[in-house]
Amino acid sequence: MLDNESKMLSYVDQFFRSRSYSRETERSYSWMLFQLARWLDRSRLSLDDLDPDLLNRFLTERGWNVNSRYLAVCAARAFCRWLYGGDHPLMDMRLSKSRRRIKPQRTLNELQVRQLLYSIDTSQPIGRRDLAIVALMLDTGLREAELCNLELQYLDLYDQIIRFIGKGGNWEAVTIPTYTAVCLSSWLADRDQLARQIEVDRTVFINLSGGYKGKRLSGSGLRHLFRRLADRAGLPALSPHDLRRTFCCLMLQGKASTRLVQIAGRWKDIAMVERYSQALRPEDIEPFSVVNRIMEI
């Protein structure tokens, strides 16, 4: 009989081929499943013995935080449903995420956004690429993995829309506002010129230097790019996900409804809009003052 790790290895590729998970989810689930298989081997247990009590033992011994525990349960349930069917004991297992109040995280205000945009040198292709990235993330709230995996074939600048596989492996689409579409068009002209010189990846955003020139811009490459942009703009720190929070807050400050922001950000739960907009301050209420409006101030 195969040991658990070998058994997992023999099935995991088939499992992911039958699903449409994002690369980030696939990577996380793979790591969780192999950790579980190794733990079962060390405990002299079989993958076939897995049930809620056994999985809870595994999670307790690992000492993971609530988010990692939740992810592990999701990975194990999805895999066992695929391998054993919908009547597997794990189908009845639930582990709620923490409901504790989350402290406000890093978000840019309008002044900082201007500071960031104006600091990008668009006289060179790398600057035109960086401006297109920043503008697109600010206008659409794209996640890091979504942006890195955008494919040229699904970008339609005429209708100003781009389609992609989003979080959870579902096809999604975002509208590209006019200024950002112009930034993208400028970058794509540079990209086309590079493609005539060397073979480039099919993704919209690619590396422009070093040994990875022409290859897909990776998540680590994007994070490095944002550190460079923050330094040049005089900002203390900046990550790709900061722009998703910024997108949320500035849309609300621009008088977009919470429901519209939820749709634009592709959140399933409107509570996520509240979570991402915790940087809003009491003084942001000023433009909506009842008395100001009545007194025509």
Q: What is the mean pLDDT of each run of 10 residues along the chain (297 residues)?
A: 65 82 85 88 83 89 86 89 86 63 76 95 96 96 94 95 89 94 96 94 94 92 95 92 94 90 91 85 69 63
> Counting Cβ atoms within 10 Å, is residue 95 exposed (0-12), middle (13-18) or buried (19+)?
middle
- Residue 276: CB atoms within 10 A of its CB come to 24
Q: State the pLDDT at residue 244.
A: 95
- Per DSSP, the three-state class of 206 is strand
- Sequence-distant (6+) residues with CB within 8 A of 104 are 278, 279
Kindly compute the dihedral angle of the four CA atoms of residues 178, 179, 182, 186, in this order, to the nearest 10 degrees.
-160
Q: State the pLDDT at residue 1.
A: 40
Whole-number Å distance between alpha carbons of 218 and 223: 9
Q: State the pLDDT at residue 255.
A: 87
- Sequence-distant (6+) residues with CB within 8 A of 252 are 258, 261, 273, 277, 280
Residue carrying structure tokens 């690429």:
129
Q: Which residues pair with 161 in a beta bridge?
A: 156, 175
Q: State the pLDDT at residue 10.
A: 76
Q: State the pLDDT at residue 295.
A: 56
Helical residues (DSSP H) of the chain, grouped into ranges: 4-17, 23-42, 52-62, 66-84, 110-118, 125-140, 144-148, 178-195, 219-233, 240-253, 258-265, 271-276, 290-294
Whole-number Å distance between alpha carbons of 82 and 75: 11
Tokens of 218: 């990776």
In degrees, to the nearest 5, what angle opens at C-alpha 70 toward C-alphas 9 and 68? 75
* Sheet with 155-156: strands ordered across: 155-156, 161-165, 171-175
Q: State the pLDDT at residue 237.
A: 86
Domains and CATH numbers, the chain: 4-92 (1.10.150), 110-241 (1.10.443.10)
Whole-number Å distance between alpha carbons of 219 and 224: 9
